[in-house]
Amino acid sequence: MILAALFVIATLKPQWLGQDRGRPASNGLTARTAQQIALPPSPPASVVRIGFAHAAHIAAPAVVSIAASKAPSRAERAREPLFGLPGLPFGPRQPRGTPQLGVGSGVIISADGVLLTNNHVVEGASDIEVRLSDGRQAQAKLIGTDSETDLAVLKIELGGLPVIPLGDAANLQVGDAVLAIGNPFNVGQTVTSGIVSALGRNQLAINQFVNFIQTDAAINPGNSGGALVDADGRLVGINTAIFSRSGGSLGIGFAIPVDVARQVATALLQDGVVARGWIGVQTRELTPELAEALKLGDAKGVLIGGVISDAPAAQAGIKPGDVLTRIGPHVITTPAELLASVAALKPRSTIEVGVQRGGKAMAFQLAVAQRPPPQRSQDD
């Protein structure tokens, strides 16, 4: 009977026997009570993870790193002992005569190996090497370049290539989320996020024919030629420039809209060159002060400051001091509109332009020529 009573007490009231079994747990609960409390299950991953992993997963495999090398010029060889390699941030100085190396990014836009990048990444390069995010490498062939949009088309010969889906930059709105993907400072592929800060940026002294997408997604040296993608992982721009006083990102980056990139790539693949219209005039913005000084009344348009000899405009009879008001059916109010409208014309086509000369409205038929390549200083 005594043993039976002790068993009952030890089981139900162990504290009566002075044992440690009933000592409170550190959290104020008995050990047995704590063991009986079950933690709630973790919520589904879709609830916990808020971000752009899906977009990065779609786009990042098609973004590549590009190393472009060229033999240095005599002037550059003379500077090498002092300045090392300007195109390779944080790189070691190289011996005299070592080929210069530029590092950038690119985007695969077709399964047969067509890539887009910036012209300034590969300009003058004698050797272009492409490295994919899966570790594969290939030598790239330069298909063509367009310095006036700072775009270049490359091609590599590899199978099973990832391809980025193309978006529509025309549907972008200020405030839309975007990702910048590239190889900044040659550290490896990097994804940064931000929003569309502005649209239609021009007059940036970067190139002639682009209204840039501005973004605060971090873009740094080496990101040039990389992808700006939307929240669905679709390509909406080619990252090309930053505004910076230090060389690093200050949250003001610029990308070439994919619509422009698609047009340039198509022209380079089909014809090897981007053919733009040209009429041979030099223009000035027509301010109210200029209109009053030239006694042009309330004329609206672009003031012709000069006409190139033997150019289509000169042959048609357009003169300095005329105000160009119309290209075909399109009303012209700024020099940028005139440049874009003329560039969109097909060379060897004919177009009617509207002009105001003094107080008289006139029309001229112009035979559109092909825009000459921009003048560049020759490298010895």
Q: How crowded is residue 173: how many other Cβ atoms within 10 Å of its Cβ?
A: 8
Longest CA pairwise span in the chain (Å): 129
Catalytic residue at 120?
A: yes
* Amino acid code (one letter) for 171: N
Residue 223 CA neighbour count, 13 Å, CB half: 27
Instruction: List the catalytic residue out of 65, 120, 249, 322.
Output: 120
Mapping DSSP onto H, E and C, the string for the chain reads CHHHHHHHHHHHCHHHHCCHHHCCCCCCCCHHHHHCCCCCCCCCHHHHCCCCHHHHHHHHHHEEEEEEEECCCHHHHHHHHHHCCCCCCCCCCCCCCCCEEEEEEEEECCCCCEEEECHHHHCCCCEEEEECCCCCEEECEEEEEECCCCEEEEECCCCCCCCCCECCHHHCCCCCEEEEEECHHHCCCEEEEEEEEEEEECCCCCCCCCCEEEECCCCCCCCCCCEEEECCCCEEEEEEEECCCCCCCCCCEEEEEHHHHHHHHHHHHHHCCCCCEECCEEEEECCHHHHHHCCCCCCCCEEEEEECCCCHHHHHCCCCCCEEEEECCEECCCHHHHHHHHHCCCCCCEEEEEEEECCEEEEEEEECEECCCCCCCCCC
Instruction: List the catalytic residue out of 224, 230, 249, 322.
Output: 224
Catalytic residue at 126?
A: no
Tell me the two tokens of residue 379.
Answer: 């490298």
Catalytic residue at 42?
A: no
Q: How crowded is residue 155: how many other Cβ atoms within 10 Å of its Cβ?
A: 16
Specify which residues 360 forms β-bridges with: 357
CA 72 to chain centre: 28
Catalytic residues: 120, 150, 224
